Every structure is written in structure tokens, then in C-alpha cells.
Chains A and B, each alone.
Chain A
Amino acid sequence: MNTEERIWQYLEDVSDPEVPVLSVVDLGVVRDVQVQDEEVQVTITPTYSGCPAMNTIATDIRLKLLAEGFKSVRINMQLSPAWTTDWLSEEGKIKLEEYGIAPPVEDGGDIHALFGRDTTVRCPLCKSENTKLVSQFGSTACKALYQCNECLEPFDYFKCLK
């Protein structure tokens, strides 16, 4: 295993501070890892521009790699191409649902289309598809608030961003 591959493995241990069940790799925010001479360069991209977790993610990545013995770590911030929920790993989506957050739904809808139809989101608890949107804006920038019409449980939906 080369050094870059090892670093990708280490980053599997760095979790998203707001959704700790996901690693930064699952989340798709790590875009590139390069090692040149003694310096490690990790390129990350924000999920949302104002996401307060980004500074924590940068700190946690740096601390993890310093703890693994790397002496110099540079964190690059890449804005384009902009993060999309398509970069969430399949494993990440399963972890999200098990954790009680409905994963983003691929419905072919265009978020740029105004007043499109509502997405069908499955309740992470009872798995019913009879759910309703309570608010497009939830506990964090990346989530919307839903409620299940069957088991009545309110739940977070990790909203689709394309």
C-alpha cells in the first residue's frame, strides 16, 4: 500500500462532527490526497458554503495525520466542482438510514426547477413512504425536516443537492 492509500484509510477514521456516523470519505468531501516530499496535501470541498463543520473537519484531518506521524499537512479548499450528494458513498447512505436520517433520494427532479413535485422520502424507522415535508430547512444546512404519516415519527432527511 502506498502512502496516499494509507492516508485515505486514515481519513476513514475522521468523522463528520454533525453526522458522526459518516466519515469524511463517506461524505465525499475529500477530493484528493497528494504526498510531495514531506508534505501531505488533502483537498476538501464544503458541503454547504456556510457549513460550520468545515473548520472542524479541516482541524480533525490535520490532527489525525499529525498523530499518524506526518510532519506537515496542508489542507486545500476546492469550490468547483461543487459538492453534490452524488458523492455520498453507498455505504454512507446505508449508515445514514441506520442512524435515523433518511438518505438523499434520487428522484430525477431538477432542484433548479421551481415548484417541482415533492420528493418521496422513506421513513428511516418504519420504512413507510407515506411521509410529509415539514420544512426544507432542518437542524443543519444539509438536512430537511420530515414527518412519517404512519408511525408519526419526525425525522431528518439529508437533502439532495445537485
Chain B
Amino acid sequence: MMHNHENAPHLHEQHFNTPVQDYAPEVKQLVLEYTLQLADTSFILGHRLSEWCGHGPVLEQDMALSNIALDLIGETRSLYQYAAELEGKGRTEDDMAYLRDTVEYKNPLLVEQPNGDFGDTIMRQFIFDSFHFFFLKELQNSTDHRLAAIAEKSLKESSYHIKWSSEWVIRLGDGTEESRKRIEKAIDNLWPFSGELFMMTATEKKLLEHGVIPDYSQIKNSWDAHVAKVFQEATLAVPQNVWMQSGGKEGRHTEHLGFVLTELQYLQRTYPGLEW
């Protein structure tokens, strides 16, 4: 087969060997929306963690934060690539990340919250990891083959993340007076964003019926048990009866997301189509 320069593949070009399933158009649209929501979630959190690069409290933790950021961005790429294939309009993973606006982003509010101090970052990560880990375990059984494969891959990485953030919650909670004060403040700041992870949107409810996604109420049970265990060891109290914020999964965001996107989309917005 001859290639001329224009249609020769990029040297690193790769094709996923799990083709898009034969979905009815309306189901396909739901899977697309949901895949974007998952991608947005890992992407925004991965970006937030990457803001720590070079600023970590000690070198080992700087590297841990960057490693976790990298795992999340890796998961994001698989998801955006899948979304681009599902959509089938020639958009790429980069278009999904760099050319969609705030209202199109469907990540839960938790992951766009600012890094704050190390306590805030640890608590945001702990709340997320404790969800993500049990969620991926269930998503492996999805009737969508690609989502199941991505979950299987990311779960292995997530098991390192949840260990790391859980150990830090214990260390900060059962540490010095100062570390305890900080982590308690972080719990107050971030707990109102934990509930949205388990609230099912209309899209999610329909996908649950199709067997594409797991029932979040079961994941909530695993989350509650894990949080209780870690908090007990950390001598921290699990907040009760907290008013839960929501809206991110439906595109209604806190003021922070706009600033995140402004920074990370700057180059593609200013120099459209720019490549390394």
C-alpha cells in the first residue's frame, strides 16, 4: 500500500481494538454524554493535581501528586478518544479537551475546587479516590465493552491512589495539632461536594437501565464504609447532615471551572490547531 505524505499515518498512530458497539442512536448519544462526563471528571482533577508539580511539600509527595495526575490524564485520554469515536464527526481527543466550554463540561463540582493547602488537596483526593476506586470496580461489568476495558485498566492505578490519600488522611488527622486543624478545615470545605458523586442525573438513570453503568447507591455503601474506617483511624468525625451542592454533572459549575479552562485551553484558543 502506498502512502503519500498527506495521508500517511502519524508514526505513533494507534487504533483501539474494541470497536464501538452497535447502539441505537439514542443510546449511543447517552453513552457519548456519559463518556464525556467521566473524561471531564478525570481531566479536571488531573489538571488540578498537575498544578502542584514543583510545589509539593517534599519531593516524594510532589512526585506522588504528579504521578496521580498522569494516571488520571491517561484515563482521560482513553475516554476522550472513545467519545470522539462514538460521536463520529471527526473531532479528536484534543478537540474534546480544548474546545468545549464550561457549560459543556459535566464534571462534578468536587474536582474543580481549588487546591487550597495540602490538607484541602488530600481531602478532595480522598473523597474522589474512595468513589473512583469502588466505581471502577463496578464499571468493569459494564455492558459497554470499551468502558469496561478502560475501567479494568484504571482500577489498577486507582488502587494505588486510594491507599495514598487514605494514608495521608490518617497521618494528618492523627498527626500534629496543626495538621489536624488543617484537615478538619478541609473536611468542612469539601464535604458539601461529596454528595453529588452519588446523585444520578437523568442520563445516568437511563444508562443504569441499559446496564451500562452501575447503581451508585451500592457504591455509596462501599464509600461510607471506607470513609468510616479511615476517619476512625485518623480520629476524625464523619460529618452528619451536611447540605450537598450539585449541578456540575449538568453543566452548572462553581466559578472555579472557568478559570481552570481559561488556563488549560489558552494555547488552542489563541493558536487554533497548534501542534508540538
Count CB-based A-B contacts (< 8 Å). 122
Report the minimum CB–CB distance from A64 to chain B (whole Å): 11
B37 at the interface (CB under 8 A from A): no
Q: Which residues of B contact A134 (CB under 8 A)?
A: 60
Q: In the complex, are the beta carbons of A79 and B78 less than 8 A apart?
A: yes
Complex Cα spacing A80 to B16, Å = 10
Partner of A55, one of B12, B148, B160: B12
A-contact bits for B15-41, CB 8 A (1 contact / 0 none): 111100000000000000000000000
Docked-complex contact B71 and A50, CB < 8 angstroms: yes
Tally chain A residues at the interface, Cβ within 8 Å.
45
Q: Is A152 an interface residue (CB 8 A)?
A: no
Pairwise interchain contact B156-A50, C-beta atoms closer than 8 A: no
The DSSP consensus for interface residues of chain A is loop
Contact of A51 among B1, B18, B74 (CB under 8 A): B74
Bound Cα distance A74, B64 (Å): 35
Contact B154 A49 (CB under 8 A): yes
Q: Given the complex of chains A and B, what is the CA–CA distance between A84 and B152 in angstroms?
A: 11
- Set of chain B residues within 8 Å of A48, measured between Cβ atoms: 70-71, 74, 157
A71 touches B1 (CB 8 A): yes
Known interface pairs A63-B11, A79-B78, A137-B68. Does A46 touch B153 (Cβ–Cβ under 8 Å)?
yes
When A58-B14, A138-B63, A141-B67 are in contact, do A49 and B159 touch as well, CB less than 8 Å? no
Query: Could you list which residues of chain A lie within 8 angstroms of chain B, going by C-beta atoms?
Result: 38-39, 43-44, 46, 48-52, 54-56, 58-59, 62-63, 71-72, 74-84, 111-112, 114-115, 134-139, 141, 145, 159, 161-162
> Please, could you name 28 A-B residue pairs with CB atoms under 8 Å apart, sorted by A?
A39-B1, A44-B14, A48-B70, A48-B157, A49-B71, A49-B78, A50-B73, A50-B75, A63-B11, A72-B1, A75-B14, A77-B14, A77-B17, A78-B16, A79-B78, A79-B146, A79-B149, A79-B153, A80-B149, A82-B153, A84-B156, A135-B63, A136-B160, A136-B163, A137-B67, A139-B63, A141-B67, A159-B160
In the A-B complex, the 4 residue pairs with the closest CB atoms: A50-B74, A49-B74, A80-B149, A135-B60
